[in-house]
């Protein structure tokens, strides 16, 4: 999961360079067959929260977590081990200004 500060302002040139770097990162993983799925997410303001409490549906707008960083995208990768997952995550361009969370999937 790639977390970013949505308030972070990049110049148009920085945005183009960042998107190119992400494309290079995902392209390399795609060529190796290590990236199974992934995409950017719409801004947290577009989120809708769904909960069921005591049989009642509760729907609210906006992000549930009041945090500086929000989930900006995700990638599902298949690698040999935890160390390779960390090395792969460390090369994601978002790690330079946000955070990349590595979490195993339940078998």
Each residue's pLDDT tens digit, 14-35 = 999 999 999 999 999 999 999 9
**pTM value > 0.85:** no
Residue of 34, 38, 107 whose CA lies nearest to 77: 34
Per-residue pLDDT, 7: 83
User: How is domain 2-100 classified at the CATH fold level?
Assistant: Alpha-Beta Plaits (3.30.70)
As a whole number, mean pLDDT of residues 3-7 equals 84
Per-residue pLDDT, 65: 62
Q: Give how far Cα 14 sits from Cα of 19, 34, 40, Å.
A: 9, 27, 17
Each residue's pLDDT tens digit, 41-99 = 998 889 898 999 999 999 998 766 666 778 889 999 999 999 999 999 999 999 998 99
Domain boundaries, the chain: 2-100
Per-residue pLDDT, 66: 66
């Amino acid at each position: 999961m790639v977390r970013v500060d949505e308030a972070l302002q990049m110049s148009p040139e920085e945005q183009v360079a960042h998107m190119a770097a992400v494309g290079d990162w995902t392209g390399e993983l795609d060529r190796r067959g290590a990236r199974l799925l992934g995409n950017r997410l719409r801004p947290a303001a577009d989120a809708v929260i769904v909960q069921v409490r005591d049989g009642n549906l509760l729907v609210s707008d906006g992000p549930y977590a009041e945090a500086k960083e929000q989930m900006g995208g995700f990638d599902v990768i298949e690698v040999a081990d935890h160390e390779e997952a960390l090395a792969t995550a460390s090369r994601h361009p978002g790690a330079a200004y946000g955070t990349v969370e590595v979490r195993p999937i339940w078998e």
